[in-house]
Amino acid sequence: MMKRWGVLVAAGVLALGPATTGAAQAGTGPASCPTAEIFATDNTAIITDPEDPRLDRDLRHFAREVRGVIRAHGARPGASTLLDGVFWSDELHRTTYERSREFDVDRVGREGLHDIAEVVRKTYDQESVLTFRCLPRSAPDTDAVEIRADGVSATRLHEALAADPEARERLGGGSVTLDGRLLLIAPLSDLPFARTFTTGLGVDWNEAEIHYGDQEFVAR
């Protein structure tokens, strides 16, 4: 997955034990938070047409294979969520699209998560794979936030990015689940900007889930 994940999504946090203190709902209370998340795809093409049939893939075989990699490293795979990603390409000066998956990973530490992502990156010839570890907000390694919020379509996300050069520069893009749940990962320092962008999508910030943690782009 390319570094255009900038925001996000983006991407892994997205059992519970000590990590629970890292997740806080902006409005009504704590939300569940796996130990870690991995955001990845097997796609190597640049897709600029939102109607491209490659965006309809369910990536089930890919999901089974990645879960096998997770198990082989002694970690425990959890749920996997299919995502529609919308990203801005500086090289192409236009929006690109990608079908990908988020994988919950439990019983894994920082080095183990990195190793799993590196195997996935090499196996599927990706420029980078995004990981996110859920941590308490005050943890020394916390450098990012994950925002999850209902009521956002990939089309709405595309329109917002196309209209906002600063969002394209600072966030890069984001992802949406098939049932319309935004998933956005941003540097902790960009939380105020990400909040403004998210509420501009029509999200009720009081209903959004905010997870704090450590993101890494495991890259070539």
- Domain boundary assignment for the chain: 3-219
What value does the mean pLDDT take over residues 160-188? 94
pLDDT at 13 over 80: no
181-197 pLDDT, tens digit each: 999 999 999 999 999 99
49-85 pLDDT, tens digit each: 999 999 999 999 999 999 999 999 999 999 999 999 9
What is the residue-wise DSSP string for 10-53?
Answer: T------GGGGGGEEESSSS-----SEEEEE----S-B--TT-G
Q: Which amino acid is at 51?
A: E
Q: Tell me, what's the pLDDT at 31?
A: 53
- Pairing mode, if any, of strands 128-134 and 181-187? unpaired
Decide if 181 contacts 149 (C-beta within 8 A): yes
Dihedral sign (CA 54, 56, 58, 63) = positive
Alpha helices in the chain, H assignment, sequence order: 60-72, 110-123, 154-163, 165-170, 191-200
Question: What percent of the chain shows pLDDT beyond 70?
Answer: 86
Q: Tell me, what's the pLDDT at 83?
A: 98
Q: Which of 10-14, 63-67, 167-171 is predicted with the least confidence, judged by mean pLDDT?
A: 10-14
Q: Which of 26-40, 52-66, 172-186 is predicted with the least confidence, judged by mean pLDDT?
A: 26-40
Dihedral sign (CA 47, 172, 121, 77) = negative
119-137 pLDDT, tens digit each: 999 999 999 999 999 999 9
Record the pTM: 0.86
Neighbour-count burial of 12, counting CB atoms closer than 10 A to its CB (0-12 exposed, 13-18 middle, 19+ buried): buried
Q: Tell me, what's the pLDDT at 32?
A: 75
pLDDT at 3 over 70: no
Q: Which amino acid is at 74?
A: G
Q: Which of 16-20, 97-101, 167-171, 207-211 is predicted with the least confidence, judged by mean pLDDT?
A: 16-20
Count CA within 13 A, CB hemisphere, residue 129: 27
Q: Which amino acid is at 217?
A: F
pLDDT at 11 over 80: no
CA distances from 212 to 95, 124, 148 (A): 28, 28, 12
